Chains A and B, each alone.
Chain A
C-alpha cells in the first residue's frame, strides 16, 4: 500500500523560497505508471493543483504558478520535491503531495494523498 509523507519547513519568510519534499513508500516512483503531484489548500479555501512530475523528469505546472514553481524527482531516494519562489502571504497553505493515475479518456486524478503539511509565510 503506497504511502506519501510531506516534509519541510513550516515557516517561510516573504520573498524567500518554499521547499518541500515528498517521500514515497510502498511503490517505486521509477515504476513509470504514475505521475506525482503537488496540490495546496489555503486556510478555509478549496484545492489548487500546483503541478506534477513523471520519473523521467517530464513536468507540467499550473499556468498561474508556472513562473515560480519547480518540481524535481530523486529516484534514488524515491522522493520528489517542490520549490516555490518569491512567496507571499497568499502562498500560506496546507501542501499535499499525491500519486496520480491516468483517467480512461483524459487527464489524471490523485488516487493517494499525503497527510499534508502547513506552510505559513510570515516574517
Chain B
C-alpha cells in the first residue's frame, strides 16, 4: 500500500485528454513537499516527465503538464498519442518517514 495513491489504470482515445491523480496527506504533499512525475515505457527505465510540480524537462512535449493543490497532485496529458501508453509514477517526500522519498503505486495508461 503506497503512501501516495494513484488510480491503477486510466484510458483514453487518441487525441483526448486524460488526467492521473496522486493523492497524499498532510505529512507529504500537504506539508508542501514538491511532486515529480515519471513515465515508464514497457521494458524500460523510468524517465523524468515533470519536476517540481509543473516543470517540463528539456525534450518533454508540452502536451504533458503537472499541478499540485492541497494534499494532491495531477498529471494531465492532452492530445493523447499511442506512444504515451506507459506506466506513470508520482514521487514526493514524507515527514512521517524521516523525510524519506516516496512513490505512488503507479498508473497504467492505455491508449484505446
**Residues in chain A within 8 A of chain B (CB atoms):** 46-49, 60, 62-63, 96, 101, 103-116
Q: Are B98 and A49 in contact (CB under 8 A)?
A: no
Q: Are A106 and B34 in contact (CB under 8 A)?
A: yes
Known contacts A103-B52, A116-B45; is A47 also within 8 Å of B34 by CB? no
B65 at the interface (CB under 8 A from A): no
B: contact size bracket: 20 to 34
User: Which of B45, B57, B100 makes the CB contact (< 8 A) with A62?
Assistant: B100
Closest to A116 in B: B45
Q: Are B48 and A114 in contact (CB under 8 A)?
A: no
Complex CA–CA separation, A92 to B66 (angstroms): 32
User: Which of A47, A106, A111 makes the CB contact (< 8 A) with B32?
Assistant: A106
Q: Are B51 and A114 in contact (CB under 8 A)?
A: no
Q: Are B46 and A62 in contact (CB under 8 A)?
A: no
B64 at the interface (CB under 8 A from A): no
Known contacts A107-B92, A109-B36; is A49 also within 8 Å of B100 by CB? yes
State the total of A-B contacts with C-beta under 8 angstroms. 67
Complex CA–CA separation, A107 to B95 (angstroms): 11
Complex CA–CA separation, A104 to B97 (angstroms): 21
Q: Are A103 and B106 in contact (CB under 8 A)?
A: no
Q: Are B48 and A111 in contact (CB under 8 A)?
A: yes
- Say how far A52's CB is from chain B's closest CB, in angstroms: 8
User: Which of B34, B99, B106 makes the CB contact (< 8 A) with A104?
Assistant: B34
Q: Are A46 and B51 in contact (CB under 8 A)?
A: no
User: Which of B36, B47, B97, B106 makes the CB contact (< 8 A) with A113?
Assistant: B47
Closest to B50 in A: A109
Q: Are B105 and A109 in contact (CB under 8 A)?
A: no
Q: Are A47 and B89 in contact (CB under 8 A)?
A: yes
Known contacts A46-B89, A63-B98; is A106 also within 8 Å of B33 by CB? yes
Complex CA–CA separation, A46 to B2 (angstroms): 9
B41 at the interface (CB under 8 A from A): no
Closest to B96 in A: A63
- Say how far A34's CB is from chain B's closest CB, in angstroms: 13
